[in-house]
Amino acid sequence: IAPDMVGASAYDAFMLIADAIKRAKGLDKKAIRKALAETKDYDGLTGVIKGCTPEREVIKNVQVQVVKNGEFRHFGVVTDPEVITP
């Protein structure tokens, strides 16, 4: 199966949690939650995760794709903070 944005997003989510566990220095739920909330400028496969909102939604540039000849293709990136912040 060819890699796609869904797979890359899942990989980023897994690695973000792994990074938070490492920074929390263990598996304490509160420490992991705190580490996730403190995440800033995490460089993932799908781009830089700038941080999280108080509702725990990630803030990151939005990758826009189009379907051309039955294939997903990169179209552009939305970087406006008013658009990318949930």
Task: Give 29-86 pLDDT, tens digit per residue.
Answer: 999 999 999 999 999 998 899 988 888 888 999 889 899 999 888 899 998 888 888 8
Query: How many angstroms separate the CA atoms of 75 and 86, rounded?
Result: 21
DSSP annotation of 74 reads E
Query: How many angstroms separate the CA atoms of 10 and 2, rounded?
Result: 14
For tokens 């460089």, name the residue: 43
Q: Is the pTM of this model over 0.85?
A: no
Nearest to 13 by CA among 61, 54, 72, 58: 58
CB neighbourhood size of 28 (10 A)? 12
